[in-house]
Amino acid sequence: MLIVSQNMTNYDVSLPQDTILRINLAWINDLETLENILKAKSKQNIFIDLPKNRTKPPNNRYSMNEIKPILESYSNIKYFALSNVDSAEYLAEYMTYVPKNITVVPKIESYLGIKNIEEISKLLGDEKVVMLDHDDLYSSMLKKNDDPKNFQVYIQQLIDFCNKNDVILLRTVGVMFADTEKRVSEYVK
């Protein structure tokens, strides 16, 4: 599974046909812009990423009541990620808003999420997918004065669980930088 920022399509980059485009709602300034992107990318499978409890900028916030009609209206939305999932109870609050044809992807960003991964994964449908945010995991460890040496231990625990339980684990592989970007906060066309 290859998921890339929808911004990759703004450049002359050849992507495999089955590439999934990720739209991070933190960077979407209004839902009309989101819908314009979904229409423009109607032939692409889409991965929507809803940041919840995000503290770093940008910090656009949308409620599930605002998002639900969009999830129901666009058949190209295949995945819906939710940030900062630390427990099954937290994830359960959002599951009822997401149509059954969309795979819910909890983003694991703390040791608590790793510790509770078994309960979290039990809420997922047939296609079990979780996403690890390495940077946020490390930041949460620092905030809790956790020994940085545990970072790799925690990641290995998550990898081992996912491998043993047929859960797809999405991890960051590189980042794209460009000197052509001129906009300050809205990185979408």
Residues 126-176 pLDDT 10s? 999 999 988 888 989 899 999 999 999 999 999 999 999 999 999 987 777
Q: Worst-scoring range by mean pLDDT, 37-46, 50-59, 153-162?
A: 50-59
pTM equals 0.88
Look up residue 183 and give its amino acid: R
**Residue 147 and residue 170: Cα distance in Å, rounded?**
24
Dump pLDDT digits (tens) for 55-109: 555 556 788 999 999 999 999 999 999 989 999 999 999 999 999 999 999 999 9
Q: How far apart are CA 177 and CA 4, in angstroms?
A: 13
- pLDDT score for 54: 59
